[in-house]
Amino acid sequence: MSSASPAPASPAERYAVFRQRRDLAAVQPQGPLALVNTQWVDGEQTIWGVPGRWAPAPEGGLLLTAEAADGIRVDDALVDGTVRVRGKDDAAPSAIVFDEHTTGFVIAGEGGAYALRVWDAESEAIASFGRIDAFDYDPAWVLTGTFREIEGGTTVGFEHLKDDGRTRDEVVPGEIRFTHEGVEYDIAAFKSGRALQLVFSDATAGDSTYSVGRFLFLAPNPDGTITLDFNTAILPPCAFSYNFNCPLPPKQNRFPFAIEAGEKNVLKADGTLLH
């Protein structure tokens, strides 16, 4: 007789696994705690913390000039001279290795700008990391809303932390509505790969949770509903490193009530706040 299959994990048990994976992801060699520099390149220049000289490449990405003694490898080849480093917007982005614990890649920005991101698997933030503080699982914060697709989508301007009030248009593919304590809220979530990304803040921001806000990733259900499980709300990358530039919640995503679910803050091993 075959043994019975194990019972499905409870929501609280699945949440515990989610929490463990989030802590583990934070300390990966290119996890958010490893980012030590994001430097935009608008002319030939050096970049803090790494060797070589860097400049914009006419065809996109960056040009790196280095000597073999610098020990930089781009796409597994030792650099001795000048090479093009392809950005993340390229179909085949380049990988950069500076030493046994320092790596990098190039990101694209607006107007054809490119920046080098430098990751250190032995960063001070990783060394001091304790855990991501989070609320206990609460089924009351699993809400059901409605989703109505907008043909062709619409755009909403999102401010970013370091953009001095300028907005970037993001594609919002549909209308999301949910009700809390008898009040209906219309919110904007933009496309993020196959999912929708909700950037929000609530009455806990700056008190028991990170002041800038939090993220929640969503996917519409086939029946036209959408599940907002705020237990899976996560901290934005800028909560882990100041070298990220995170989107800020637009006005309609700033809730007047307290959402006591999901992640709160990044804590050091001694229990104090990382930032």
Per-residue pLDDT tens for 117-149? 999 999 999 999 999 999 999 999 999 999 999
Q: Is pLDDT of 68 > 70?
A: yes
| pLDDT the model gives residue 165 | 84
CA-nearest of 40, 47, 42 to 65 is: 47
Query: Percent of the chain beyond pLDDT 70?
Result: 97
| pLDDT the model gives residue 256 | 98
| pLDDT the model gives residue 212 | 96
Model confidence at 2, in pLDDT bands (50, 70, 90)?
low
- Whole-angstrom CA distances from 167 to 129, 163, 172 are 33, 8, 14
CA pair distance 150, 173, nearest whole angstrom: 6
| pLDDT the model gives residue 8 | 60
| pLDDT the model gives residue 64 | 98
- What is the C-alpha R_g of the chain? 21
Q: Is pLDDT of 84 > 70?
A: yes
Residue 167: both structure tokens together: 């907005």
CA pair distance 266, 125, nearest whole angstrom: 10
| pLDDT the model gives residue 9 | 85
Q: Is pLDDT of 33 > 60?
A: yes
CA pair distance 275, 262, nearest whole angstrom: 18
Half-sphere exposure for 116 (CA within 13 Å, toward CB) = 32
CA-nearest of 200, 270, 211, 202 to 239 is: 211
| pLDDT the model gives residue 4 | 61
Mean pLDDT score of the chain, rounded to an integer? 95
CA-nearest of 225, 131, 250 to 174 is: 225
Residue scoring higher pLDDT (275 or 195): 195
Q: What is the pLDDT of residues 144-176, one digit of tens each?
A: 999 999 888 898 889 998 888 889 889 899 999
Q: What is the pTM of this model?
A: 0.93
| pLDDT the model gives residue 56 | 98
Sorted by sequence, the CB contacts under 8 Å of residue 1 that are 6+ apart come out as: none
